[in-house]
Structure 1
């Protein structure tokens, strides 16, 4: 955690550990997320030890103000940390400081009022409806073996038809075959949700299962690699890359773009924004809005229907 030779104090290290345990237990944060938070806050605490000239306890954290956080951000800028990464680091630090203040019964308002850098959020680019449908067929034309072609088609059909992440689709086991009308998915942070499956997805998975030369028993991965092991997500990305080159689509036409397309096309067809939020497994409605590429007028129309004025 330390990068400058000045160790973080035992009290601060213990507070960091308690905060991560809190996020793990009460917020359901994924382990990769927790690891990133731990690095960000550890970097901040290490900076403070250097900035203030030595180890400090929890009292020093509760006495921090905007100048301390601005100094940290300046140090990050000197290391050419991007505005997006800096904003993420500052968010983690603020969350940690709020936790410490709550534990210590102090007020962290001064430090929490520090503003992070502005950056242009990159919105996802969904495929056009026709392109999304066509790319499924094109993906099926890439493989030399019928069962592999059927596998790839089944996966991309699930990504577009049910809005699954690659990890969620590849996390399915043989117990998901035959594909039910409602599929229970375990998403980020171990959160479960139910997503409907289209007849096209049910047929695609059934065709793959019929052609697959492996025994798809209920406890093993549903989608297999050529040697029988779990399918590497990189292979799905590669298949999509080949298909988009053949179709002349931009580099943004990735497997994850199919999930964006699912949300955008569903909303454009009149779907409720909050229902789509549930289907995608988003904790925040604002995240769902970022997943859609519907114009502002359409968003307002959906909003007005969902929240009629008295």
Structure 2
């Protein structure tokens, strides 16, 4: 097959995955990977690394984390080789793959190994950020979020907050020139807010959730599907107040008025219904035993 044929086959697999036809996409990827293992110019290695990357995501989605990491290891090795050959301009792709591997390791409870992989990814992102070659700040701050979440899961909240704060500092700076990072900032505020809930910092959590909610509401006109994220943020805000024993009527009334506007304007999704049900459960009377 020619290089063009390989690229077309890869695009076919991507299209199938985007249409959620995962079984067919996996089949096309398997054929492509088998063919590329036979012939490997640098251009073919590049396509193979991408194919393995995509298959790793499909495997992780199916909770085959070991299979996913096997693909990631091979893809990482190929990306490192291509970088050493100066085929790739920077190590951003390697960092992204290391982050994914760290997430997989976290899913199977190997937190120390997860932490190591994510830290390695962040070191590479920082090199790219400092030398101006970073093309996607969102991926860098995503890795910082994953670092913070992993540290939280290891009960190291101090380091977790440091990572979230660093991500927020970067995003607050970069969003001024690239407003596509707004949602990355909203998610990071939310994640830090959850940390604040778990460490009983009620007002800090409410402040973080409010910042996130404001960004999401501003984004709903172009992306109405974000009503699910909005509902999740409202849930966490009320949960924080409930855990502190500080249910403020004026804040609840604001959430009620605001959510009625949001749902009447942008509709209700399955995800939004889930979180609104969770909110209802917060106020349900305790069941007698």
**Is the TM-score greater than 0.5?**
no
Point out which structure has higher relative CO (alpha carbons under 8 A, 6+ apart): 1
Which of these two proteins has the greater Rg computed from alpha carbons?
1
TM-score range, shorter chain: under 0.3
Q: TM-score by structure 2 length?
A: 0.24
User: Which structure shows the higher helix fraction?
Assistant: 2
